[in-house]
Chain A
Amino acid sequence: MRKIIAIWTAKLASRFAKLLGKNGSSMPGTIALKICPDILSRMCNDIEKDIIAVWGTNGKTTTNNMIYTVLDNGKNRIVCNKVGSNMLSGVAAAFISYSTLSGKVKADYACLEMDEAYARIILQYLTPTKIVITNLFRDQMDRYGEIDTTISYIQKALDKAENAVLILNGDDPLTASLGKNYKNTVYYGISKNLGLNLNETREGRYCRFCGTELKYDFYQYGQLGMYRCEKCGFKRPKPQYDGENITIGDHVSFDVNSTHVDLPCKGVYNIYNALAAFALADSCGMDKEEIAEGLERYKGQTGRMEEFHIGGKLVVFNLAKNPAGFNQSIGNIISEKRTKDVIIGINDNDPDGNDVSWLWDVDFEKLNNDTIKSYTAAGIRAKDMGVRFKYCDIDETKITVCDDMKQNIINAVKGEGECVYIVVNYTLLFSTKKILSELEGEL
């Protein structure tokens, strides 16, 4: 009965929030958990096939949504926290929005993106049968202490799901090391050097098992690459899903196990995300061609290289949450041949991380480039970002520091550049998107 009351109240609250135009994707979950704290364990038993969990610092939302798109072939019924609300309340909200008023969740799969640090708490209530870990980059360290702490949290969560199939990014030594003591592991990766030559901060270059510096034949990006420990023998596992014949441009494409995949999105990182989704769907027994078709249907979400047209100009909007994400976004900006005006927005709310020291680990120096006509630092920490621009030796007359995003966008659209690039971190995502959508209608 408690469960039913919780579901009704939460569904009602969700309706009200939508009427008020609020984007409270995890709020119904928060309410339901207050009324019925173990609501998740009561609802997850109805999942008929697999409960899939997606963890990792970067690419969780994209990977989870790719998995959803692939599984969503007209035959499967799927519970999914699509918008990236990935703590306990967000996962509960996904189940509630799918359930009937009598509390039944008739679904084949649950695709659940989970925050790495909260997974051990969520797993007290439900046990995934499949777990995907995308990568472990430096992220929001003030919340978790250090990356070692994050890994110990993940280890605790894994210990609660020892029979799950682990699908791991083998190119990341930190992620791959998690597979060592598990029986059901599947690795994906890219064995050929892509030759990206990014110069950036690298995490975990030391062997997790013996502390020796790892030797690399090459890096793809971040600490992803072909590594080995010469002391204890830990090395990059041979991937069962190996991305081959890769092309990178406006769209990316690759072959995996003799199946060709064309992704309708940019970015090398999306090849990794798609390989994870491919491996997962294959382990669910889906036909390989059907998986490839599913990935081709995938549409990006808010803030993943999303395009707007404002006042006759193209505005490209991207989310980045940490140094690895920002370096990827910077790569996208400098590969754009047209001239542009650039806005970088930095907030320091709890979901962003209160500590903005990582701004100095990002290779913003690459933005010191003649094709960029103006640089705007925005967000709560606009002033920190302004300092960061200045120390890239960018001409100070081209730098604006301003926390009013609407004004910033209007100015950038009126700027000298042929297009506008905006990169923001997490809590600026929805507010900026809202402004962009409004301006798209007005200007």
Chain B
Amino acid sequence: MKLRIAHLYPDLLNLYGDIGNMTTLKKRCEWRDISVQIDPIYGNEKISFTDYDLVFLGGGSDREQLLVRDKLIKMKKELTAYVNDGGVLAAVCGGYQLLGSYYKLENETIEGLEILNIQTEVGKTRLISDVVIENEQFGTIVGFENHGGRTYINEHTPLGKVLYGSGNNGTDGNEGVIYKNVIATYLHGSLLPKNPKLADHIIKLMLEQRGLPSELKPLDDTIENNAHQYIIDRFVKK
């Protein structure tokens, strides 16, 4: 048994240490004797999403994001079907924006993949900060955000409520989206190394989708939890 991860276009979407998310999933599986294969996807070939247990989209500059959009829009139907069948998809920053209906820049509007009913518009300033959010299931999630876009998520459930930082748009207190088995967020940092509960949740979803037992052997997360707690202690007022 081997879990397979498609890491989409790491040559284009690799702005914020996104590789750390892959490293974390890989190690946390290996430490439990679950073997993982990560396929970096390059080029213009069609991706067979159903061969994968997780599809990961990272963040890139506006120019690179547009290149990725052009590739993925050709596979919109297949990726939408993958998500509707419960396929696990994690998207960070630029990858998150691409899942929505559009990203409106000053002079043009970039059409998105319409997997989520969310809209993004470019703002006057970039929102740059450490971030702490709270999710009912995983507790606090810590990370770092750096985005020019303001994202509005309509009826979607946010990944969390902002305790520190700006989140989706700096106004409504929401951060990210959680929808079916899609986890989308502005947080990098990298996201998963300091949020081991969220990392394990993604591993469980992958196992469940495969129809495998998803009970995970506990790991000693002292080093990770100390790094997580440091961000909360430093930025969130008690």
Q: Are A360 and B27 in contact (CB under 8 A)?
A: no
Complex-state Cα separation, A147 to B16, whole angstroms: 12
Interface residue ranges, A against B (CB under 8 Å)? 141-142, 145-148, 201-202, 205-206, 211, 213, 354-361, 383-384, 386-388, 390-391, 393, 396, 399, 401
Q: List 14 A-B contacts (CB under 8 A).
A: A142-B128, A145-B146, A145-B148, A146-B15, A147-B61, A148-B62, A211-B63, A213-B11, A355-B189, A357-B20, A357-B144, A384-B194, A391-B27, A401-B223
Closest Cβ–Cβ distance, residue B94 to chain A (whole Å): 10
Closest to B19 in A: A360
Instruction: Answer whether A390 and B223 are a contact pair too, CB < 8 Å, given A148-B63, A357-B188.
Output: yes
Interface assignment of B80: CB less than 8 Å from any CB of chain A: no
Closest to B16 in A: A357
Q: Are A387 and B223 in contact (CB under 8 A)?
A: yes
Complex-state Cα separation, A146 to B128, whole angstroms: 12
Q: Are B14 and A361 in contact (CB under 8 A)?
A: yes
Query: What is the number of residues of chain B that contact chain A, defined by CB distance less than 8 Å?
Result: 35
Closest to A146 in B: B61
Interface assignment of B46: CB less than 8 Å from any CB of chain A: no
Q: Which of A357, A386, A393 contacts B17 (CB 8 A)?
A: A357
Q: How many A-B residue pairs lie within 8 Å, measured between CB atoms?
A: 87
Q: Which of B15, B62, B227 contacts A383 (CB 8 A)?
A: B227
Closest Cβ–Cβ distance, residue A423 to chain B (whole Å): 18
Complex-state Cα separation, A366 to B15, whole angstroms: 21
Interface assignment of B32: CB less than 8 Å from any CB of chain A: no
Closest Cβ–Cβ distance, residue B89 to chain A (whole Å): 21
Instruction: Answer whether A387 and B63 are a contact pair too, CB < 8 Å, given A142-B144, A205-B11, A361-B14.
Output: no
Which residues of chain B are within 8 angstroms of A393 by Cβ–Cβ distance?
A: 27
- Mask of B127-158 contacts with A, CB within 8 angstroms, 1/0: 01110000000000000101010000000000
Interface assignment of B35: CB less than 8 Å from any CB of chain A: no
Complex-state Cα separation, A388 to B189, whole angstroms: 11
Which residues of chain B are within 8 angstroms of A148 by Cβ–Cβ distance?
A: 61-63
Which residues of chain A are within 8 angstroms of B16 by Cβ–Cβ distance?
A: 141, 355, 357
Which residues of chain A are within 8 angstroms of B87 by Cβ–Cβ distance?
A: none
Instruction: Answer whether A355 and B146 are a contact pair too, CB < 8 Å, given A361-B19, A383-B230.
Output: yes
Which residues of chain A are within 8 angstroms of B128 by Cβ–Cβ distance?
A: 142, 354-355
Complex-state Cα separation, A388 to B192, whole angstroms: 12
Closest Cβ–Cβ distance, residue A284 to chain B (whole Å): 37
Complex-state Cα separation, A359 to B24, whole angstroms: 13
Is chain B's interface secondary structure helix, strand, loop, or mixed overall? mixed
Which residues of chain A are within 8 angstroms of B14 by Cβ–Cβ distance?
A: 201, 361
Closest Cβ–Cβ distance, residue A342 to chain B (whole Å): 17
Which residues of chain B are within 8 angstroms of A390 by Cβ–Cβ distance?
A: 223-224
Closest Cβ–Cβ distance, residue B21 to chain A (whole Å): 8
| In the complex, chain B residues 1-27 whose Cβ is within 8 Å of any chain A Cβ | 11-12, 14-20, 23-24, 27
Q: Are B61 and A360 in contact (CB under 8 A)?
A: no
Closest Cβ–Cβ distance, residue B14 to chain A (whole Å): 6
Complex-state Cα separation, A145 to B147, whole angstroms: 8
Q: Are A396 and B223 in contact (CB under 8 A)?
A: yes
Q: Are B23 and A360 in contact (CB under 8 A)?
A: yes
Q: Which of A357, A360, A401 contacts B226 (CB 8 A)?
A: A401
Complex-state Cα separation, A137 to B64, whole angstroms: 16
Closest Cβ–Cβ distance, residue B173 to chain A (whole Å): 22
Closest Cβ–Cβ distance, residue B107 to chain A (whole Å): 15
Q: Are A357 and B148 in contact (CB under 8 A)?
A: no
Which residues of chain B are within 8 angstroms of A206 by Cβ–Cβ distance?
A: 12, 63-64, 67
Which residues of chain B are within 8 angstroms of A146 by Cβ–Cβ distance?
A: 15, 61-62
Interface assignment of B126: CB less than 8 Å from any CB of chain A: yes
Complex-state Cα separation, A49 to B76, whole angstroms: 61
Complex-state Cα separation, A115 to B227, whole angstroms: 31
Complex-state Cα separation, A202 to B14, whole angstroms: 9
Q: Are B223 and A360 in contact (CB under 8 A)?
A: no
Interface assignment of B190: CB less than 8 Å from any CB of chain A: yes
Complex-state Cα separation, A391 to B25, whole angstroms: 10
Complex-state Cα separation, A149 to B28, whole angstroms: 36
Closest Cβ–Cβ distance, residue B38 to chain A (whole Å): 14
Interface assignment of B193: CB less than 8 Å from any CB of chain A: yes
Complex-state Cα separation, A201 to B189, whole angstroms: 16
Closest Cβ–Cβ distance, residue B215 to chain A (whole Å): 23
Q: Which of B12, B18, B23, B144 contacts A355 (CB 8 A)?
A: B144
Which residues of chain B are within 8 angstroms of A399 by Cβ–Cβ distance?
A: 223
Which residues of chain A are within 8 angstroms of B61 by Cβ–Cβ distance?
A: 146-148
Q: Which of B15, B189, B190 contacts A141 (CB 8 A)?
A: B15
Which residues of chain A are within 8 angstroms of B227 by Cβ–Cβ distance?
A: 383-384, 386-387
Closest to B143 in A: A357
- Mask of B56-91 contacts with A, CB within 8 angstroms, 1/0: 000001111001000000000000000000000000
Closest to A358 in B: B17
Instruction: Answer whether A391 and B193 are a contact pair too, CB < 8 Å, given A355-B16, A361-B17.
Output: yes
Q: Are A387 and B193 in contact (CB under 8 A)?
A: yes
Query: Other CB < 8 Å A-B pairs besides A148-B62, A359-B17, 9 of them?
Result: A142-B144, A145-B146, A206-B63, A213-B11, A355-B16, A355-B146, A357-B20, A360-B17, A387-B227
Closest to B226 in A: A383
Which residues of chain A are within 8 angstroms of B148 by Cβ–Cβ distance?
A: 145
Q: Are B15 and A360 in contact (CB under 8 A)?
A: no
Closest to A377 in B: B223
Closest Cβ–Cβ distance, residue B99 to chain A (whole Å): 20
Complex-state Cα separation, A28 to B62, whole angstroms: 40
Closest Cβ–Cβ distance, residue B17 to chain A (whole Å): 3
- Mask of B182-221 contacts with A, CB within 8 angstroms, 1/0: 0000001110011000000000000000000000000010
Complex-state Cα separation, A393 to B223, whole angstroms: 13
Complex-state Cα separation, A202 to B12, whole angstroms: 10
Closest Cβ–Cβ distance, residue A57 to chain B (whole Å): 15
